[in-house]
């Protein structure tokens, strides 16, 4: 964790809506991390990644994840829907249940005109300024190709899968 400088700690089960997710930074001190780990079990620890600058332009304080839903029907996998999930107002989480927004993604990777809150309120502009219809997801076509290819590995488990992806700074 010290080598990474910043990590995210996620419960291995029951994380719906970002529940139980914690962040640790090296400046918080090793004792803080050790205390947390001694009091909790079944946590995943991951290095905090840096997202692509184009996605940071929308909202820089959380990883704005791409949720793609695939369905395998009669041996062929298709993308049913895709949205970008975004944090707001300094929140490090992008979950709608944590106050975040979600916006549909067009097939070419551009964002749709409106984003929505969990209560259904629509807006054309992120509270921090980005106009959704002017934003684009870098390498969106690669995201679709990846989840379609991976979905074939899970056909025996589920034919309908929601995938959460992040676009790193290298694309």
pTM: 0.86
Tokens of 170: 């290298």
Phi, psi values for residue 4, rounded to 5°: -75, -25
Residue 67's beta-bridge partner residues?
83, 164
pLDDT in tens, 40-53: 888 889 998 899 99
pLDDT in tens, 52-111: 999 999 999 999 999 999 999 988 999 999 999 999 998 888 888 788 999 999 999 999
């Amino acid at each position: 964790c010290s080598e990474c400088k910043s990590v995210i700690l996620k419960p291995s089960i029951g994380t719906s809506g970002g529940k139980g997710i914690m962040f640790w930074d090296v400046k918080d001190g090793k004792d803080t991390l050790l205390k947390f780990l001694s009091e909790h079990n079944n946590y995943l620890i991951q290095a905090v990644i840096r997202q692509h600058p184009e996605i940071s332009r929308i909202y820089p304080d959380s990883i704005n994840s791409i949720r793609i839903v695939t369905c395998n029907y009669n041996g062929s996998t298709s993308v049913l829907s895709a949205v970008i999930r975004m944090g707001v107002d300094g929140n490090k989480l992008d979950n709608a249940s944590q106050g975040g927004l979600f916006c549909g993604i067009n097939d070419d990777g551009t964002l749709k005109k409106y984003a929505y809150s969990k209560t259904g309120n629509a807006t054309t502009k992120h509270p921090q300024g980005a106009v959704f219809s002017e934003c684009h997801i870098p390498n969106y076509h690669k995201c679709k190709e990846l989840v379609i290819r991976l979905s074939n590995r899970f056909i025996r488990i589920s034919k309908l899968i929601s995938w959460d992806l992040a676009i790193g700074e290298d694309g």
